[in-house]
Amino acid sequence: MFYLYNKKMKKLLLICSVALFCTVTIFAQSPIPALAKSPMFMSTYPAGFGILKIQDKVTEPLAARIIYSRPQKNNRAIFGGLVEYNKVWRFGANENTEIEFFTDVTINNIKVKKGRYSMFAIPTKEKWTLIINKDLNSWGEYKYEQSKDVLRVDAPVQTSTEIAEVFYIYFDKAKNGFALNAGWDNVKIILPISMK
């Protein structure tokens, strides 16, 4: 009896050892990605559309969504330093910032058709030239092509005494539609977007 028990225990121990080895090997070969230093974020207009929808509190249809990564200041000089003046910037971090319009819109008297686009900016001390571009699914501004621009529009820089440690983009209600608000450090811009 002791012999059979001992034989079964050895077999069970061998199976457990093989299972443990396989589990450790699998996890060693496919590590879970670390949290990004510049996490991805999404804003919508109307703000919080997804939550409003599940709560049956939607008062106007989804008009826009922007997906971007949020870099952090971390005691760095941002504009004129990390983000160079007069150069195309990815308008965030990591992958290209993407904006999607769920209806045709007008920006600075230019019609932009319903659809998904990438977004870039060329910051200066006085203004940011915001760019809506057809190229999607890229990383950064390294493959940016001006020939794929749908629109370029200038937004005046506003300075603030409050420092934004993390880059932000959000939408809020504005005359004839909504506005895209973006900022970082002590700088912000507002871009009116019309739905008329």
* pLDDT tens, residue by residue, 12-28: 555 656 555 555 455 55
Among the residue ranges 1-15, 87-101, 133-147, 150-164, the one predicted with the least confidence is 1-15
Give the pLDDT score at 17.
61
Give the pLDDT score at 2.
47
Question: Amino acid letter at 40?
Answer: M
Interval 47-99: pLDDT, tens: 998 898 999 999 999 999 999 999 999 999 999 999 999 999 999 999 899 99
- What b-and-e string marks burial along 65-98, b requiring 16 or more CB atoms within 10 Å of the CB? bbbbbbbbbeeeebbeeebeeeebbbbbbbbbbb
Task: Report the share of the chain in percent with pLDDT over 90.
Answer: 70
CA dist., res. 138 & res. 162, Å (int): 32
From the list 160, 196, 153, the residue with the least C-alpha distance to 176 is 196
Among the residue ranges 4-13, 22-31, 58-67, 155-164, the one predicted with the least confidence is 22-31
Give the pLDDT score at 67.
96
* Statement: residue 134 has pLDDT above 50: yes
